[in-house]
Chains A and B, each alone.
Chain A
C-alpha cells in the first residue's frame, strides 16, 4: 500500500500542508501518513576550553553528551507528538479517513528515502519552521528532497485551496515526458482542466512533441488547452499563470546537473521561490 506522506514540522504552514495532503488523499483515495522528523540540532556542550584530559575524561565526556542528548531528544519527542496530534485532529476535521502518525529520528531527507517504497506522494511546505512567513525563500529541505526522492512532490505555498485547474510546464525533454505520463495515469488531477504550456521557439518539431503530449492526456480523459509561447521559460510561465488564473503548476524537476545549477541557477528552484500557487514536482 502506498501512502501520501505529509511532512509536518510545526511551522505556521503545517495546517496548509495538512489541508493539501488531505485533498490529495481524497483525490487518489489512499491513506495519509503525517510525518514529523526529529532533526538533530547542532550539539552544544558547556563551553569548556580548558583543553585538559584527566582521570576518566572519556567516560565522563560520553556520559555528559549522552545526558544532554537524552534531555533534548525527550523534549523534541514530546513536542513532535503534540504537533502530529494537532495535525491529525485538523486532518480529521478536513475529512481524511485513514491517518497514520509517524515520527522518525534524523534528517527529513533520510526519513523520506527510508519511506520511499511506501510513498505515493510527498507533501511539503515551502517554508520550514525556521523561516519567516513572508519571505520568498526556498525551505531548506525542498531542493534536497526533490533531488533525492523519486516520488512526486506537492509543494504547498501559502494557504492551500483545492485547485480548480492546473498547468503543465512542458519543454519536450525526457523529464517533462515522464511528467506527462505520470499525470495521465494518476487520478490526482483527473477532471480538472489542463493547460499544457511550452515556452520558447515555435518550431515544427516542438509543436509535434506538444501535440503528442496533448494526445496522451486527452486519451485519459483530460480536457487540454495547449500553447507555445515565445520567450524565456520563467517569465512566460509566470505570465501565463497570471493570465489564466492557474491554481496549480506541474513541472518536471532538476533536469540539469548540480554544476550547471551552481553557475546558471535552476529553473525549478526559481519557480519554487517565486510561485504563489502550489506546485507539483515530478521526477
Chain B
C-alpha cells in the first residue's frame, strides 16, 4: 500500500505540480461559467471544484484525472435551482453522492462496457455543443465590444502558444484572461463582468448541512435530479477514466472511482458546492501538461481555492467575454472532430447511434437520456445484425418424400420470424428432419418458434424429427460462468 501511495502521489512531483497549476488556472473560468449555467453564484461552482478535486485526489480510482464542477452536471440542475433554490441543489448533490457510492459497491462501473464507442462519441460531442450553446446568452443583445473582446480572447488563446519559448511556458487561457481584464479595466469598458453574475468566495468554504426540511416531499423533489446527476456523473467519469487510461497506458479502478465520485460529491455539497464529475477537457490538459499522479489533481483543487479566495476582487473584474472565449476553447477541444471525418467511413448504424445521442441531448439538455437512447439503439442494431447470421438450407429425397432442413447460425428473438418463414409448410411431404447441429438457440423465443414449426408440420401430416436440439439449445441457459472456460466455450459455440 505504501508503495502504491508513493507511486500514485510522488513518482512525478515536478510534472504533477506544473500540470496541477495549469489546470487550477484553467478550472477557475470553467467553474464560474458552469455555476452561471446552473443558475447559482460563482462561489458554488468554485467551492465545488475545490472540494471535488481535493477529495477525489485521495479517494478516486484514476490518478491524474481531473474532477470538478462540470457543464454536464450543471445542465441537469437548471430547473431544480430555478424552481426550488440553492439549498435543494445542495441536498440533491448530497443524495447524488450517496447513489454513486452505492453504484460503486454494486460494481456498476463495469456496466460501462455496454456503452459503445459511438455512444461515447455522441456524448462527448453533445457535451461540447451544450457548452458552446451555454455561451450564447452572453453573446446576444450585447454591444460590439463584447464580440471584439471574445474574438481577441480566442486569438490570444490559440495564437499565444505559437510564440517561441514563452508560448509553451504560460497557459494561454490565463494570458487571455489577464490581458482582457487589464484592457477592460484600463479603458473602463461597460461590459458584463464576473461580479455581475453573483457572489464570489471571500472565505474558505465552511461546513453546512443543506437547509431543507427532511421530509418525503423533499426527497421526491430531489430524487429524480439526483438519479440523473449520479448517472451522468458516473458516465462522464468512466469515459474520462478510459481516455486517461489510454493516454497513460495504465489501468484504473473504475469501481473505486465510482465510490470516490460519490464521496467527493457528498463533501462538495456539505461545503456549499454543487455536484460535479470528471472533466474530459481538463484531464486532457492535465496529461498534456505532464500531470500523471494524484498530486496534480490535488494541487489543481488546492491552488484554485487559494487563488480565488485571495484574488476575489480581481476575479470579479474579469469580463464575461474572456470567460466565453475560454469556454469556446473548451467546447472546441472537447468535440471529437475526428468523428465528423469518420461519418464517411463508419457504417450507417454506428452513425445513427452517434447522431441520435447528440440530437437527443441537444434537444433535451439531458445527457442521461441521450446515452440511454444511444445504448438502446446500439443494442437493437447489434441484435439485428447478429439476427441476419442465420440461413436454412433444405434438400429433398424424392424417393422417400423426405425433406431435411439444415439450420445454420444464430436463432433468437430478432431472427425467429425469419426462422419460421424459412420452412415451406405448403409442401405435401411425409417426413421432415430439422437438423440443428450448426445452429445456436439463444432464448425462449427461438425455442418456442421451433415448437411452432414442429406443430405446424405435424398438423400437415408430416412426421418431424429434430436433430441436435440439446446441443443447439445449450446457449439458452444464462450461464455466465462459461466464458471463463475455453473448453466450455468451444463446446457451446463450436459445431456439435
Contacts and interface: CB of A to CB of B under 8 A. Distances in A.
B171 interface: yes
A49 B169 contact: yes
Interface stretch (B90-98, B242-250, B344-352): B242-250
Interface in B436-474: none
A49 B3 contact: no
Contact of A56 (B25, B169, B338): B338
Nearest to B293: A42
Nearest to A55: B337
Given A61-B247, A65-B247, A45 B172 contact: no
A50 interface: yes
Given A47-B18, A53-B281, A65-B249, 13 more contacts: A48-B289, A49-B19, A49-B171, A50-B161, A51-B22, A51-B172, A52-B161, A53-B285, A53-B333, A55-B332, A55-B333, A55-B337, A65-B248
A57 B283 CA distance: 12
B171 A54 contact: no
A94 B247 CA distance: 45
Contacts of B2: 258, 262
Contact of A51 (B12, B26, B246, B334): B26
Interface string B307-334: 0000000000000000000000110111
Nearest to A66: B249
A48 B18 CA distance: 10
B158 A52 contact: yes
Interface string A114-139: 00000000000000000000000000
A93 interface: no
A258 B4 CA distance: 14
Nearest to B169: A49
Interface residues of A, number: 26
A54 B333 CA distance: 4
Given A58-B243, A65-B247, A53 B284 contact: yes
Interface in B265-291: 280-281, 284-285, 287-290
B329 A62 contact: no
A117 to B, nearest CB: 18
Contacts of A53: 281, 284-285, 288, 329-330, 332-334
- Which 3 A-B pairs give the minimum distances between C-beta atoms? A53-B333, A51-B171, A50-B161
B254 interface: no
9 contacts: A44-B290, A49-B168, A52-B158, A52-B172, A52-B285, A52-B329, A55-B337, A58-B336, A69-B249
Contacts of A159: none
A138 B284 CA distance: 38
A259 to B, nearest CB: 10
A39 B243 CA distance: 22
A51 B290 contact: no
A49 B289 contact: yes
Contacts of B173: 51-52
B418 interface: no
A47 to B, nearest CB: 6
Interface string B288-308: 111010000000000000000
A78 interface: no
Contacts of B26: 51
B3 A50 contact: no
Nearest to A45: B290
A118 B129 CA distance: 55
Nearest to B338: A59
A273 to B, nearest CB: 18
Given A42-B11, A54-B158, A258-B2, A48 B288 contact: yes
A258 B371 CA distance: 45
Nearest to A53: B333
A49 B18 contact: yes
Contacts of A58: 243, 280, 284, 333, 336
B227 to A, nearest CB: 29
B1 interface: yes
Contacts of B264: none
Contacts of A65: 247-249, 287
Interface in A253-283: 258, 262
B338 A50 contact: no
B160 interface: yes
A258 B285 CA distance: 37
Interface string A20-61: 000000000000000000001011111111111111111101
B167 A54 contact: no
A54 B290 contact: no
A46 B290 CA distance: 8
Contacts of B280: 58
A144 interface: yes
A50 B169 CA distance: 6
Nearest to B124: A58
Nearest to B329: A52
Interface in B139-191: 157-158, 160-161, 167-174
A144 B284 contact: no
A61 B173 CA distance: 19
B170 A49 contact: yes
A50 B168 contact: yes
Contacts of B288: 45, 48, 53, 57, 61
Contacts of A44: 15, 290
Contacts of A54: 158, 329, 332-333
Contacts of B168: 46-50
Nearest to A50: B161
A41 B226 CA distance: 42
Interface string B228-250: 00000000000000010011110
Given A48-B289, A50-B161, A61-B284, A56 B22 contact: no
A50 B164 CA distance: 12
Contact of A50 (B23, B171, B248): B171
B18 A52 contact: no
B12 A42 contact: yes
A55 B334 CA distance: 8
Contacts of B161: 48, 50, 52
A43 B285 contact: no
Contacts of B15: 42-44
B311 to A, nearest CB: 18
Contacts of A59: 338
Contacts of B330: 53
Contacts of B22: 49, 51
Nearest to A262: B2
A144 B7 CA distance: 13
Contacts of B332: 53-55
Given A49-B171, A52-B172, A53-B330, A61 B160 contact: no
Nearest to B334: A53
A129 to B, nearest CB: 17
Contacts of A48: 161, 168, 288-290
A71 B18 CA distance: 25
Contacts of B284: 53, 57-58, 61
Interface string B65-86: 0000000000000000000000
